[in-house]
């Protein structure tokens, strides 16, 4: 049954359903989280064990087939991914560019796309994000999946950006953190679009888009990720403020990251 497939995918990825979350939005989030790993798999299907690479059009074509199969069970998913009347989707191209910019995929000199070997990249100053050929069901040492990726704390041997290297605040660049109506998730709302960068690509990998797959200004994240995401955004020169939180839902983050950002306590 359709519900069984969705529950199986969500269980494998560790994606939790929000309180009172509509079926459509949950399908969007689960498929978005899974798509990163499907794109990795497609890049391995080059006849050379993934060492040669495949074209962007092939990755998008295979991703489209996978999404169309889901759409047979969950109507409305293609619209969220921005498919047009000709069957094309700028949303899938946007995801592919994000994965390349973040370091999950690599573009070869021949213009083909390969999956990278398992490695970690810094997220802010205190944690790492596993990329490349990683197992999404292996949660040892990581927090649960948020968006398309997970975070491992900075106990690994990979270098983490030294403290004190945050960029100066970009003029009028603000990200507002607000409650989602679910104690396990929060919204990040940007006041404007920001210039693309590897760090922002990692921020987008660690969050779900809210309105459409290309929505860069309204993102949803697990509450456990708030301190690391605030740290990451400050490194990009983006100020973070909180609104809408009340009562005891306030935590003091490290003083060298931000003076005080209220955020919901994980259940």
Q: What count of other Cβ atoms lies within 10 Å of the Cβ of residue 228? A: 26
Highest mean pLDDT among 35-39, 52-56, 181-185: 35-39
Mean pLDDT taken over the chain: 80
- Higher pLDDT among residues 243 and 106, named by residue: 106
Percentage, residues of the chain above pLDDT 90: 31
The model's confidence at residue 148, banded by pLDDT at 50, 70 and 90, is very high
Mean pLDDT of 43-58: 82
Task: Give the pLDDT of residue 113.
Answer: 92
Give me the DSSP letters along 110-154. TS-EEEPPSEEEEETTTEEEEESS--TT--TTBPPPBTTB--EET
- Higher pLDDT among residues 189 and 179, named by residue: 189
The model's confidence at residue 223, banded by pLDDT at 50, 70 and 90, is confident
Mean pLDDT of 254-259: 36
Q: How far apart are CA 115 and CA 107, in angstroms?
A: 9
Q: DSSP character for 170?
A: P
- Higher pLDDT among residues 127 and 166, named by residue: 127
Mean pLDDT of 29-39: 94
Backbone angles phi, psi at 2, to 5 degrees: -55, -40
Mean pLDDT of 112-134: 88
The model's confidence at residue 190, banded by pLDDT at 50, 70 and 90, is very high
Residue 132 pLDDT exceeds 70: yes
Q: How far apart are CA 219 and CA 207, in angstroms?
A: 6
Crossing angle of helices 226-235 and 198-205, in 10° steps, is: 160
Q: How far apart are CA 146 and CA 206, in angstroms?
A: 5
Alpha carbon separation from 122 to 11, 116, 185, 192, 229 (Å, rounded):
27, 16, 23, 25, 12
Residue spans per domain, the chain? 2-115
The separation between CA 113 and the C-alpha centre of its own chain, rounded to angstroms, equals 20
Nearest by Cα to 99 from 122, 66, 132, 77: 132
Q: How far apart are CA 158 and CA 132, in angstroms?
A: 15
Q: How far apart are CA 28 and CA 70, in angstroms?
A: 10
What tokens does 58 get?
A: 């092939």
Nearest by Cα to 184 from 222, 144, 146: 222
Nearest by Cα to 110 from 69, 163, 53, 156: 53
Highest mean pLDDT among 54-58, 169-173, 259-263: 54-58
Q: What count of other Cβ atoms lies within 10 Å of the Cβ of residue 54? A: 21
Q: Please name every residue paired with 221 in a beta bridge, in sequence order, or none if there are none.
A: 186
Mean pLDDT of 72-78: 87
Percentage, residues of the chain above pLDDT 70: 79
The model's confidence at residue 234, banded by pLDDT at 50, 70 and 90, is confident
Q: How far apart are CA 144 and CA 130, in angstroms?
A: 12
Task: Give the pLDDT of residue 139.
Answer: 61
Residue 97 pLDDT exceeds 50: yes
């Amino acid at each position: 049954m359709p519900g069984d497939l969705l529950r199986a995918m969500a269980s494998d990825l560790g994606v939790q359903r929000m309180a009172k979350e509509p079926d459509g939005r949950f399908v969007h989030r689960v498929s978005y989280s899974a798509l990163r790993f499907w794109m990795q798999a497609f890049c391995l299907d080059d006849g050379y064990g993934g060492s040669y690479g495949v074209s962007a059009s092939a990755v998008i074509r295979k991703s489209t087939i996978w999404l169309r199969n889901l759409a047979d069970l969950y109507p409305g998913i293609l619209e969220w991914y921005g498919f047009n009347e000709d069957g094309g989707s700028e949303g899938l191209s946007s995801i592919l560019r994000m994965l390349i910019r973040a370091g999950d995929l690599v573009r070869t000199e021949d213009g083909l796309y390969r999956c990278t070997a398992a490695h970690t990249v810094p997220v802010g100053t205190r944690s790492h994000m596993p990329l490349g050929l990683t197992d999404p069901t292996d949660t040892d040492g990581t927090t649960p999946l948020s968006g398309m990726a997970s975070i491992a704390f900075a106990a690994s041997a990979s270098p983490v950006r030294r403290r004190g290297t945050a960029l100066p605040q970009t003029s009028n660049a603000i990200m507002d953190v607000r409650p989602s109506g679910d104690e396990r998730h929060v919204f990040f709302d940007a006041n404007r679009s920001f210039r693309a960068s590897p760090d922002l690509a990692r921020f987008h990998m660690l969050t779900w888009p809210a309105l459409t797959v290309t929505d860069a200004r309204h993102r949803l994240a697990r509450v456990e990720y708030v301190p690391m995401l605030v740290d990451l955004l400050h490194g990009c020169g983006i100020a973070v403020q909180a609104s809408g939180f009340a009562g005891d839902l306030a935590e003091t983050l490290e003083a060298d990251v931000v003076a005080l950002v209220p955020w919901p306590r994980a259940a």
